Amino acid sequence: MPLSTLLSQYIVRRPQRIALLQHIAEQGSITRAAKSAGLSYKAAWDAIDELNNLAQKPLVERSVGGKGGGGAKLSSEGERILRLYQKLQALQAQVLEAAEEASDLNLLGRLMLRTSARNQLHGKVQTIEAQGRNDLIRLELAEGLSLDAQITHDSTVRLALEPGSEVFALIKAGWLDLLAVETPATPGHNDLTGVIEEILDAEDGPSEVRIGLPTGQTLCALAEPLDLRARGLGVDKPVRVQFAPSNVLLGTQL
pLDDT tens digits along 189-224:
999 999 999 999 888 889 999 999 988 889 999 999
Can you give the pLDDT at residue 113?
Answer: 53
Task: Spell out a b/e string for 142-174, using b for 16 or more CB atoms within 10 Å of the CB, else e.
Answer: beeeebbbbbeeebbeebebeeebebbbbbbbe
Q: Which domains does the chain have, with CATH numbers?
A: 3-111 (1.10.10.10), 116-254 (2.40.50.100)
Can you give the pLDDT at residue 116?
Answer: 65
How many CA within 13 A on the CB side of residue 128? 20
Write the burial class of residue 49 (CB in 10 Å: 0-12 exposed, 13-18 middle, 19+ buried): buried
Please compute the mean of the pLDDT values over residues 224-238 and round it to a whole number.
95
Name the CA dihedral angle for 146, 152, 157, 161, rounded to a multiple of 10 degrees: 0
**6-26 per-position pLDDT tens digit:** 555 555 445 666 788 889 999
Q: Helices 30-37 and 15-27 sit at what angle, rounded to 10 degrees?
A: 130
Q: Which is nearest to 178 in space by CA: 158, 155, 195, 156?
A: 195
Q: Rounded to whole angstroms, how far apart are CA atoms 177 and 146?
A: 17
Q: Which is nearest to 227 in space by CA: 173, 184, 179?
A: 179
Can you give the pLDDT at residue 93?
Answer: 64
CB 165 within 8 A of CB 156: no
> The pTM is what?
0.64
pLDDT of 86 higher than 60: yes
**131-166 per-position pLDDT tens digit:** 999 999 999 988 888 999 999 999 999 899 999 998
CB 106 within 8 A of CB 96: no
